[in-house]
Amino acid sequence: MAMLSQYQQQRNQMLSIRPALVEGFMRKLILSLAIIAGSVGELCAEPQAAGAHAGHQHKPQTTTAKTMTAEEHAAMGHMGGHAGMDHSKHQSAATAETQPAPAHDMAAMDHSSHSMGAMQGGDAPADARDANAYNDGYGFGDLHPQHMGDQEIIAMLLVDRLENTSSSGDNVVNYDWQAWVGKTYDRLVVRAEGEIDKGAFLNARNEVLWGHALSPFWDSQLGMRYDAGMKTERGWFAAGLQGFAPYWLYVEATAYVGEEGRTAFRLETEYDLLLSQQWILQPRMEANFYGKRDDSRLVSSGLSDFEAGLRLRYEIKREFAPYIGVEWAGTFGSAADLLKAAGTSAEQLRFVAGVHFWFVKRMFPFAFGNTASFLVFNAIFAEFYRHGF
């Protein structure tokens, strides 16, 4: 009984002090939350004040919360040990007045060094570093210099048209090819176009040109042209352009000056229209203009002849493609009168079938950058030539 009575007293004592403990815990929790809320408000106010610019000044934010006096605090009914706590060190940040952020006067700042116009192209400054002076004057000495991609000697053969042409029961072989050898910027170009009838060349045009790259898509060309295959043969000086116009339109435009004050101009255009990755439709056009008539070569002054056609090819490989097509060809002026007098039509509708192929070969694995390389290559070439390839 004594033990039971003692347990009952302890239990009653615990029940009597529990409300005071709970009340003290809740007071501490409320005070902690107030301190945290004040700190968060102060952190949020600082970036907002620091981000103000001229013309966008923010009014100072002030917390008007009233600080409680001891009498008001006691009047809230907080009895017990909490009433004797020292709150001087727990001043809430929410009770402090926030200082106004200083305004940033952007108009007073010097923006002369922040000019964006100088970054959009134009000439380089006078004291700019030379882009090619990457070696600071140091060379390779006896070693071979660095091998660049545009120093390789490349050769290419492109047979654009090798076809059999059928018109009014006559079959003629037409050819149009060009080959070049050289580097990226300078190369030797050979072009040839003509007809072969019963083993004989008709109206053959042969050109040897020196090409120089003017841009990534255009080459200038200077050289000679030689016409053969008829009674009279002609020689010309040639100057023109070859390359791709916008939308990948291939263009050959060449002007010629010949003997006896003769002049000529030739324009050829082609475009590859990809129907699929292997089926390609190619429209083609060629026109020849002359300053003087030349009856021995069936040439008229002005527009002498014109060709336009469509060819559909199938690329078995990128380098080899058979094709079929149709083409219209017309002769004009005095040359057309001569053909009609001979009983031949000046206009023809032709059906063509042929092959288109090309290949590229890297000729030498090194460039003739110095005399030693050139002599070594000549020695190797002479040895192969003496013993046979």
Q: Which two tokens stand for residue 382?
A: 């002479």
Q: Is residue 30 part of a domain?
A: no
Look up the CATH number of the domain holding residue 163. 2.40.160.40
Give the pLDDT score at 203: 87
Residue 82 and residue 366: Cα distance in Å, rounded? 94
Q: Is residue 39 part of a domain?
A: no
According to the 3-state scheme, what is the secondary structure of 160-181?
EEEEEEEECCEEEEEEEEEEEE
- Closest listed residue to residue 305, CA positions, set 254, 363, 265: 265
Q: Is residue 113 part of a domain?
A: no
Which domain does 167 fall in, by range? 150-383
**pLDDT, tens digit only, all 389 positions of the chain:** 555 455 556 656 655 655 665 566 677 667 666 676 666 555 555 544 444 444 444 444 444 444 455 444 444 444 444 444 454 444 444 444 445 555 555 555 555 555 554 455 677 787 777 665 666 666 666 776 666 666 788 999 999 999 999 987 788 999 999 999 998 899 999 999 999 988 888 889 999 999 999 999 999 999 999 999 877 899 999 999 999 999 999 999 999 999 999 999 999 999 999 999 999 999 999 999 999 999 989 999 999 999 999 999 999 999 999 999 999 999 999 999 999 998 888 999 999 999 999 999 987 654 444 445 555 555 555 555 455 44
Give the pLDDT score at 388: 46
Q: Is residue 105 part of a domain?
A: no
Q: Is residue 68 part of a domain?
A: no
Q: Which two tokens stand for residue 96?
A: 């402090």
Give the pLDDT score at 105: 54
Q: How many domains does the chain have?
A: 1
Give the pLDDT score at 78: 46
Q: Is residue 98 part of a domain?
A: no
Q: Is residue 99 part of a domain?
A: no
**CB-count exposure of residue 282 (10 Å: 0-12, 13-18, 19+):** buried
Give the pLDDT score at 119: 52
Does the pTM exceed 0.75? no
Q: Is residue 183 part of a domain?
A: yes
- Closest listed residue to residue 291, CA positions, set 266, 267, 264: 264
